[in-house]
Structure 1
Amino acid sequence: MKVSVLLLTYNEEINIERCLASLDWCDDIWAIDSGSTDRTLEMLKQGGVKVLHRPFDNFANQRNFGLDEADWKHDYVLHLDADEESTPVFREQIEDLSASDAVDAWNVPSKTILLGQWLKHAGMYPSYQVRLGHRERLRFVQVGHGQREDLPADRVGTLNVPYNHYNFSHGMQKWLEKHVRYARDEAEELSHAQRQDEAGLATGGRRRLKQIANKLPPALRPAFRFIYVYFVRRGFLDGKAGLAYALMMATYEGMIGSFVFEQPMNDTARISSGDTARS
C-alpha cells in the first residue's frame, strides 16, 4: 500500500531530522505546524515537506484539519508526531497492506523509548492507537489529552509491527511541564465520566488501566500507578529507565488527582457565573 504521512510539529528541531530520515520511503509528507520558532520550519522545507499552519488546541482537531485541508496524493494517511519514527520493518508492514472496503483504519503499536532504551515492560507494550487510515473515512475525537478514532470497532484492523516513540526527547522537565496540561485534561474527562457514569467506556490495555485508576480515590492513584508499572508490568526489568518511568507515571497520576480535587470548585464557579449571567 502507498501511503501519505501527516506530521504534527511544534519546535521539533531536535527530532525532525530523525523522523524525516525514517520516512525517506514516502513521497507525500505534510505537516501541521503550531507556530514553531526554532528551525523546525526550515528543516521541514529542506526535507520537501508541505506545511499547513494551525494554532494547537488538541490532537484530534489538528489531525482532522490536516485530513480536510491537505491535497493528498494517496488514499491512506499515516499519522505521526515529530518525536516518532518509522523503522524498516514497520515500512515493510505498511507496504504489504492491501486497501479494503471492510477496513477504514488500523490500530498501530508503538515502542516507548526512554534514556535510549525501549521500555519493553514499563512502557505498556504493546499499546495501540489508530494511526493509519483512509483520508476520507477516518476522523478523530478528543478524549482527555489524546485522540481516539471516530469509527466502529469492526471497521478497525490491527498492525503488529510498532513504530518508535521518543516521548522524552525534549528532556524530563519539558515532559513534566507538558503533562501538567495533560493532567488537567484527564481530570476534566474523569469528572465528566463520573458524572455521566461513563467510566466503563474504556477498552484495550491502556484504556482498561485508566478505567481501574478512575475508580480509585485520587490519593491512591500515584501508588497504584507505580505498583502497576514497576511490579505488575515488571518495569524493574527495564533497569534505571524502568524505575524513572514508574516514578514519572506516579507523579503524573498525582497531578491528575490534584486537578480532580479542584474540579468541584471549578464547577461551582461556572454555575455561579452562569447564574450571574442569567440574572
Structure 2
Amino acid sequence: MIQKQQELTAVILTLNEANHITECIQSLSWADRVVVFDSYSRDDTAVLAEAAGAELLYSKFENYAQQRNAALDSLQTDWVFFVDADERGTPELGTEIRRVMAERLERGWYVPRHNYIFGKLTKGAGWFPDYQLRLFKHGHVRYERPVHEVAVVDGEIGNLQQPLIHYNYRDVGHFRAKQRAYTSYDASILYNEGIKPKPHNYILQPLRQFHWRLITLAGYKDGLHGLRLSLYMAYYEWVKYRKLNWFWRKNR
C-alpha cells in the first residue's frame, strides 16, 4: 500500500513586507502550500503575495506568540514551516525537510541560518549556525512569551543541516534600530527580575560581550566585519545597562 505524502505548509508572517514577499514565496516553491499570514499591511504585501501564488489570511497583530498560534489554529495540514519574509528557502532545504517528514519521528526541527549582515555572509560572532525552531508536526506545538517567542513542542526535536538564507540587517541604520528595540526589551526583563545595575556592569559586561563575540564565537574569522559587529554588540550591552538604570530611576 502506497503511503500518502504528508502535506507541508510554509507560513510567512508579514507586516509591510512588499520588498521581500515575492522572492520569499518563490523560494518556497517546494512546499505544498504557502500561506501569508498578514497583519493588515499598508503597502502592497497582500497584492504581491497573491500574485506570487500564496494563500492570504489576516490577523490583527498583538504579539509574536499570539500571531504564530493564530496561524497554527487557522491551518489544516500535516507539517508547518515558519519562514520570515526576509528569509529564503533553498531546494536543498526542501529536500531535507521532505526526508525528515517521511523518515523521522521528531515533531519539531531546528533549522540553521546563513545570515547576511550589511550584505556579507557572517559565520562568526554568534550568527552561525543561529538555529531557529521552525518546522513542526501540526498539532504538537504552541508558542509562549510575547517577544522572542518560544516554541513548546510536544515531542522530540532534531536539527536540520541545510540552512535558511536570512537577509538580516541591511545597513547600519537598520542594525541600530533593531538593537535599540532589543536592548529596551532585555533591560525590561532584568528590571522585572529585580536586577539592579552595578557600577562595574557598565565596563565588565561590554568587555565580556566583546570577548564572547570576537573570540569565543569566532567573530575574528570574519575579519574586520566580525570585529565591527563585536564592537557594536559590546556597545549595545552598555546601552542595555544604561536603560536598566533608567527603569530603576523612573520607578524609584
TM-score by length of 2: 0.84
1:23 aligns with 2:59: no
* Cα distance in 1 for residues equivalent to 2:228 and 2:19: 22
Q: How do 1:174-213 and structure 2 match up within 5 A? A: 174-193=174-193
1:90 aligns with 2:74: no
Equivalent in the alignment of 1:234: 218
Equivalent in the alignment of 1:155: 156
Whether the 8 Å CA contact 2:108–2:137 is kept in 1: the answer is yes
| Other structure's SS at 1:146 match | coil
Equivalent in the alignment of 1:36: 41
Equivalent in the alignment of 1:248: 232
| Other structure's SS at 2:40 match | coil
Cα drift, residue 99 of structure 1: 5.2
* Cα distance in 1 for residues equivalent to 2:69 and 2:103: 22
The verdict on how the C-alpha distance between 1:256 and 1:53 changes in structure 2, with shifts beyond 3 A counting, is farther
The verdict on how the C-alpha distance between 1:226 and 1:98 changes in structure 2, with shifts beyond 3 A counting, is same
Equivalent in the alignment of 2:10: 5
* Cα distance in 2 for residues equivalent to 1:236 and 1:83: 26
* Cα distance in 1 for residues equivalent to 2:204 and 2:40: 38
* Cα distance in 1 for residues equivalent to 2:227 and 2:50: 39
Cα drift, residue 80 of structure 1: 0.9
1:261 aligns with 2:245: yes
Q: Which blocks of at least 5 consecutive residues in structure 2 are unaligned?
A: 1-5
Structure with the largest fraction of helix: 1
The one-letter amino acid paired with 1:148 is: V
The verdict on how the C-alpha distance between 1:193 and 1:102 changes in structure 2, with shifts beyond 3 A counting, is farther
Q: Which blocks of at least 5 consecutive residues in structure 1 are unaligned?
A: 196-215, 269-279
Count residues in correspondence. 243
Cα drift, residue 267 of structure 1: 4.9
Cα drift, residue 223 of structure 1: 2.5
* Cα distance in 2 for residues equivalent to 1:125 and 1:77: 23
| Other structure's SS at 1:30 match | strand
Cα drift, residue 100 of structure 1: 7.7
Cα drift, residue 194 of structure 1: 5.5
Equivalent in the alignment of 1:167: 168
Of 33, 47, 52, 2:52 maps to: 47
* Cα distance in 2 for residues equivalent to 1:219 and 1:151: 39
The one-letter amino acid paired with 2:168 is: N
Whether the 8 Å CA contact 1:218–1:260 is kept in 2: the answer is no
Q: Percent identity?
A: 29
Cα drift, residue 37 of structure 1: 2.3
The one-letter amino acid paired with 2:13 is: L
Equivalent in the alignment of 1:14: 19
Cα drift, residue 76 of structure 1: 0.6
The verdict on how the C-alpha distance between 1:41 and 1:155 changes in structure 2, with shifts beyond 3 A counting, is same
Equivalent in the alignment of 2:3: none
Cα drift, residue 193 of structure 1: 4.4
The alignment yields a C-alpha RMSD, in angstroms, of 2.5
* Cα distance in 2 for residues equivalent to 1:76 and 1:230: 38
| Other structure's SS at 1:20 match | helix
Cα drift, residue 135 of structure 1: 2.2
Cα drift, residue 84 of structure 1: 0.8
TM-score by length of 1: 0.77
